[in-house]
Copies of this chain bind each other. A is one copy, B any other.
C-alpha cells in the first residue's frame, strides 16, 4: 500500500521558469540596441527611460519607485550616465537630501534616438501575436501585476 506516486513538475510548463526565460530572451534581443551603440546597460536604460518620459527633473527616489529597482543599482547607474554626459545631477532646493536628476541635451538626443529603435524591436517580437492576442497579453500582465501590487507609480 501507500508509496503514492511522486508528483512531478515539468520545468517547461512551470510559469516562473517560463517567465524568466522569456524575459531574459526579450531583454537580450533589445539590449543590442543600447549596449554597443550608446554604452549603457539595462539599469542605465531604465533611468534614461524614466527621466525621458517627463520634461522636469525627478528625484533618484522617484526613479527607484518607478522602476522598482534597488536604490544602490540606480545610484550606480546614475553615476555612469553622469559620466557619459547623459544625465545631470542637482541638489533639490526644498529637500537637500534628494538628488534631482534630468537628462542633458545629449541624453535627450540619445533618448530620442533610442526609443523608436526599441519600440520597433518590441513590435517585431510581438508581431508573432495577433491584435487580439496582444490585447490579451496586455490584460493578463495587468492582472498579474496587480496581484503582485506592482502597479504603483504615482506621478
Contact = CB atoms under 8 A, between A and B. Distances in A.
Interface of A: 6-12, 14-23, 25-27, 29-30, 46, 49-50, 52-53, 66-68, 108, 111-112, 115-116, 118-119, 122, 125-126, 128-129, 133, 136-137, 139-141, 143-148, 150-151, 153
Contact of A140 (B14, B26, B133, B147): B133
Query: How many identical chains are in the complex?
Result: 2
A148 B118 contact: no
A11 B50 contact: yes
B22 A26 contact: no
Nearest to A136: B136
Contact of A115 (B9, B17, B30, B153): B9
